[in-house]
Chains A and B, each alone.
Chain A
Amino acid sequence: AQKITQTQPGMFVQEKEAVTLDCTYDTSDPSYGLFWYKQPSSGEMIFLIYQGSYDQQNATEGRYSLNFQKARKSANLVISASQLGDSAMYFCAMREGNTGFQKLVFGTGTRLLVSP
């Protein structure tokens, strides 16, 4: 079964607007972490934001926020005030368990294009 689902292969947004990238996940483990990474054309995976399954509040990191809806098993990334440099692939990932050293399972990614 697909553990992480990203249903949007591509998204377009105008500069300075907000955009939401969708991510749903599937797990029966009560302890898990959710991560978003950005992969520009250079290829490096850049960590953006983390949400733990026990966190009561949605995570925020600068212009990035995570809309965590635990009952719906969704962890959407919201990018506010989009910039041209935000154009990249975005991957949602999950790590199950609580030792912290399990593998990440990734979704198929969403390609975001920001236009002037």
Chain B
Amino acid sequence: GAGVSQSPSNKVTEKGKDVELRCDPISGHTALYWYRQSLGQGLEFLIYFQGNSAPDKSGLPSDRFSAERTGGSVSTLTIQRTQQEDSAVYLCASSLQNMAGGLAKNIQYFGAGTRLSVL
């Protein structure tokens, strides 16, 4: 089946503009995660959704960042008034509840990411 799909694959924007990044998870996956990968900070968690609600948004770096998920499927990460430090690869992952050995295994499967460059 289809994997996690992210669009656009590349986005170049000017400082101060708003951007929207889209993630289409694997069909049937109930959980969706956003991460950011940058040279200085490595891979950082941003937010996760269980269905349409976001129980953990602790990784969002500022109130310029927001995300929503509709219909338990597609998610959009919005960055308002972009800054140069927002330049990074934004990765989306999805997972399904799956128990193994008494633990929730819940492998997270990732998309190819959106490379955001803020000029």
Inter-chain contact B45/A101, CB cutoff 8 Å: no
Inter-chain contact B113/A43, CB cutoff 8 Å: yes
Interface residue SS majority, chain B? strand
CB contacts under 8 Å to A, within B65-119, are: 89, 91, 93, 95, 97-113, 115
What is the CB-to-nearest-CB distance from B97 to chain A, in angstroms, rounded to a whole number?
Answer: 6
Inter-chain contact A31/B108, CB cutoff 8 Å: no
Q: Which chain B residue lies CB-closest to A102? A: B56
What is the CB-to-nearest-CB distance from A62 to chain B, in angstroms, rounded to a whole number?
Answer: 16
Bound-state CA distance A109–B11 (Å) is 25
Inter-chain contact A103/B33, CB cutoff 8 Å: yes
Q: Which chain A residue lies CB-closest to B111? A: A44
Task: Kindly list chain A residues whose C-beta atoms are within 8 Å of the C-beta of B104.
Answer: 33, 98-101
Which of B48, B107, B112 lies in contact with A43, CB distance below 8 A?
A: B112
Q: Which chain B residue lies CB-closest to A105? A: B45
Total B residues in contact with A, Cβ cutoff 8 Å: 33
Question: Given A31-B103, A52-B101, are A103 and B45 neighbors across the interface (CB < 8 Å)?
Answer: yes
Name A's B-contacting residues (CB within 8 A). 31, 33, 35, 37, 42-47, 50, 52-55, 91, 93, 95, 98-109
Q: List 16 A-B contacts (CB under 8 A).
A: A33-B104, A47-B109, A53-B103, A54-B101, A55-B101, A98-B103, A98-B104, A100-B97, A100-B103, A100-B104, A100-B105, A101-B55, A104-B43, A106-B42, A107-B42, A108-B42
| CB-CB nearest 10 A-B residue pairs | A100-B104, A100-B106, A45-B110, A103-B45, A106-B43, A52-B103, A44-B112, A52-B101, A55-B101, A54-B102
